[in-house]
Amino acid sequence: MLEDQGVSRQHARLVAKPGGWTFENASQTGSFLKGKPLAREEIDEETEIRLGHPVAGEILKVIPIYAAEVEVARAAARRRNKLLLWGGIGAAAAIVVIGLVVAMFVVPGGDSAAQDNGLTKDELNSAQRAAVWITYAPTEDTIAMGSGSIVTEDGKILTNAHVADPAKIPEYAAKGEVSPEFVNIHLTDPAEGYKVGEPDYVAKVIESDGEVDSAVVQIVADGEGNQVNPSSLDLPTISLGNSDAVDRGDFIATIGFPMLPKESFADKAGVLFQPPTVAEGNVATILSFEGEERAVFDVTARISSGNSGGAAVNDDGELVGVPTSIGWDESNVVTGQVIPLAQHIPILEAAGVDVSAARK
């Protein structure tokens, strides 16, 4: 059973037919094919349908039996996919439910899923402990939100500039975006399955770069606004990796907080929200920009609204990049973009982070 709240218990019907399947949506949250609402579809070739959301929903992948066998063999070899297969008497296809685009598995936090992806349980838990949800209130009724990773025990957190200091991004500034003076920091709670609740701390931007879309915030107060001495903190941190060693085809996982509530916290005292979403995939390609040294990783791991600023980790659980955006290729397949860690290093160093020490 999928835990995604966007997927209903009886979300859709698949009826076997000669040479394929007939798909019928049965949920108010909807089903989507290439981003468009889907009510009914005759399926006779490999097809991926998103359940509950056109971009971030779980994927139902319907494929011919021979292709399913290939996928299962590859999954067993890589030990990176969790495939749920159903067969029927006389059916000409098998169904594979996958949590991401192209052979990926979405893990909504916790310990039980760690053995199913490229991370050990300890590596996954360590990364989840260092993950933070970042919020602030641009109006009384809404919150802006993103993700981040704790990089020092005294409360320095790496994120995107567009998450914590949006006015530094020319496109955001042109729309009248104003950077907040402070942002809320929500820590994960291992005792509650790494869920997040009300703000634990308040932080302020100490360094940012709109060109790189990078920012470091420093915790300065507790969740009630009482000043704290950063040197008294002893927070869990994520280990920094070497993004220069990342190549096409390498395993990568994204960790962040997509699709959490955007309403005010006024009526949510004591409420716990979902743990960070852990989504695995691969580096599809490394995109460079003409005349510039910077580049981005184009990855197959899910990146949704709210993931920005979070962690992209290698199979050792080390931070190798920061998720920042999503896009569509010519085939309408969703891809995510990750800014390599190397481009964030100058901002980290300017913020006083000992990068060598952070490479545990």
Domain boundaries, the chain: 12-99, 114-358
Give the tens place of pLDDT for each residue, 2-27: 445 557 667 888 776 666 788 888 88
For 82-113, b where at least 16 C-beta lie within 10 A, e where not — what string?
bbeeeeeeebebbbbbbbbbbbbbbbbbbeeb
Helix, strand, coil percentages in the chain from 3-state DSSP, rounded to 5: 15, 40, 45
Of the chain, the percentage scoring pLDDT greater than 70 comes to 73
pLDDT of residue 255: 95
For the full predicted model, state whether its pTM sits above 0.75. Answer: no
The 10 Å Cβ neighbour count of residue 258 is 24
Residue with tokens 């569509």: 328
pLDDT of residue 293: 63
Give the tens place of pLDDT for each residue, 165-188: 999 998 888 888 899 999 999 999
Please answer whether residues 107 and 116 qualify as being in contact, where contact means their C-beta atoms are separated by less than 8 angstroms: yes
Task: Give the C-alpha separation, 147 to 135, whole Å.
Answer: 8
Q: Dihedral (C-alpha) 250, 285, 280, 259: value to the nearest 10 degrees?
A: 160
pLDDT reading at 258 higher than 60: yes
Q: What backbone torsions phi and psi does residue 130 show, to the nearest 5 degrees?
A: -85, -5
Q: Average of pLDDT values for 119-139?
A: 92
Of the ranges 61-70, 146-155, 192-201, 308-317, which one carries the lowest mean pLDDT score?
Answer: 61-70
pLDDT reading at 343 higher than 80: yes
Q: Which CATH architecture has domain 114-358?
A: Beta Barrel (2.40)
pLDDT of residue 265: 53
Task: Give the C-alpha separation, 260 to 53, whole Å.
Answer: 14
Nearest alpha carbon to residue 256 among 236, 283, 274: 274
